[in-house]
Amino acid sequence: MPNITPEFLAYGFVWYVAFLFSTTCHEAAHALVAKLGGDETAALGGQVTLNPVPHMQREPWGMVVIPILSFVFTRGMIGWASAPFDPQWERRYPRRAAVMALAGPAANFTLMLLAAAGLRTGRSMGWLHVDAVTGRPDLPTLALFVFFSLNLLLGTFNLLPVPPLDGSAGIMLFMSESRAQRYLDWLRGNSFAMVGLLVGLLVFRYFYGPVQEFATDLLLRRHF
């Protein structure tokens, strides 16, 4: 067990709030775009909302239990959430389903850009500070950095074109309708979720570092 200090609890609180809000935005984006495209499955479940409660009720383990436990034992935070959709709607409108799938990562990248804008603006206006002796950022700076890092990670990871990640459905945007339906026959007709997730995690660990460095250098380092 880690040493539970006030600093540890404050850091964990910041991470959990960022995780909860970012994941809620991700799933709400899926639900909203699906509703606009004609599938109200998630909307009827109350998921077109930035209120995290409906999302937590749908995935209590992924939204509450596992994130908190993972932070307590590893100082990192992992978790998951989901938004339901109608498989028949997906087959009828594969491109709409692709846009719905990509809406989640798009929400994460939007939050990442807002966090970067907040950091740059706060820095230039003198609102954000880093302790000159310890190098520790103040709470607003820490919170914005966490939002930036977490949403870059979530958006990038979910774009991987392997099931069950959003990229596996997002690539249908570049297919003809008939090809997309054949692809769905293959994708949904097999239990690839666990294998795809393992492949995604293995691949992600090798290419995310350069992606993170590029995004951080482009959006932040030149201004800090």
Kindly name the residue from 27, 40, 59, 90 that is annotated as catalytic.
27
Q: What type of residue is 29?
A: A
27 catalytically annotated = yes
Give the gyration radius of the chain's Cα atoms: 19
Residues tagged active-site: 27
